[in-house]
Amino acid sequence: MAIKPNNYKKILVLHGGFEAGDSALAHGINLAKLSNGSVTILHVVNIPKYPMESISNKLERIELQKKLQDTAFHMKKTMEQEFQKKIKKYNKNKVKTSLVVLIGPTLQKVLEYEKKNNFNLIVMGKSKGSRSVESRSVVGGLTIKLLEQLRCPTLMLDVPVSAKFIGSR
């Protein structure tokens, strides 16, 4: 079966907030243009797991959990603002683009969101290590788990590393 761009009416772009995600977004937008489709950008704010049992004082534990949650909500707001700039640009190009920012474990949230929605294609960028050929061939653990568990076709782009976070000034 030949793969045709018009097969991709509903595209999910996984965007981690780095330039690799921008590259994935550009590819997703181009495919959506070819197929008169739409793009959903998914960004997950991952709350780091802190070994709470190492904090014996219950009040300190609760305070730390609240600070982690507050930080995650602040990061969510910041990322929504940054992505809205990108969405305006792409909506001007007549590609319907929407944004979903979730908080929680990245793998779990991506898989849950993909399962609830009927996407034709997932596009994601991969950047790992330095610019050397050896390190660029390495795929991280989260990427491998996603590729193993995602249900629809997935396009993974190898993007040169610069590690610039889109929320940074």
Task: Indicate yes or no: pTM above 0.85.
Answer: no
Structure tokens at 38: 């739409």
Number of compact structural domains in the chain: 1
Residue 168 maps to a domain: no
Q: Where in the sequence is the domain holding 146, given as residue range(s)?
A: 7-158
**What does the pLDDT average to over 150-158?**
88
- Over residues 81-97, the pLDDT tens digits come to 989 888 887 777 788 89
Helix (H, G, I), strand (E, B) or coil at 125: strand
Residue with tokens 């300190």: 60
Handedness of CA 111, 107, 77, 169 (dihedral sign): negative
Q: Who contacts 10 (Cβ-Cβ below 8 Å, separation ≥6)?
A: 37, 38, 40, 117, 118, 119, 120, 121
Residue type at position 9: K
Residue 76 maps to a domain: yes
Q: List the CATH number of the domain containing 59.
A: 3.40.50.620
Residue 77 maps to a domain: yes
Please report the pLDDT score of residue 98 as a whole number.
92
Question: What is the per-residue burial (b if ≥16 Cβ within 10 Å, else e) of 102-114?
Answer: beeebeebbbebb
Helix boundaries (H) for 56-160: 58-92, 106-116, 133-136, 141-149
Is residue 129 within 8 Å of residue 45, measured between CB atoms?
A: no
Residue 112 maps to a domain: yes
Residue 1 maps to a domain: no
Residue 167 maps to a domain: no
Residue 164 maps to a domain: no
- Over residues 87-140, the pLDDT tens digits come to 887 777 788 899 999 999 999 999 999 999 999 999 998 865 544 444 444 456
Residue 39 maps to a domain: yes
Question: What is the per-residue burial (b if ≥16 Cβ within 10 Å, else e) of 66-87?
Answer: eeeeeebeebbeebeebbeebb
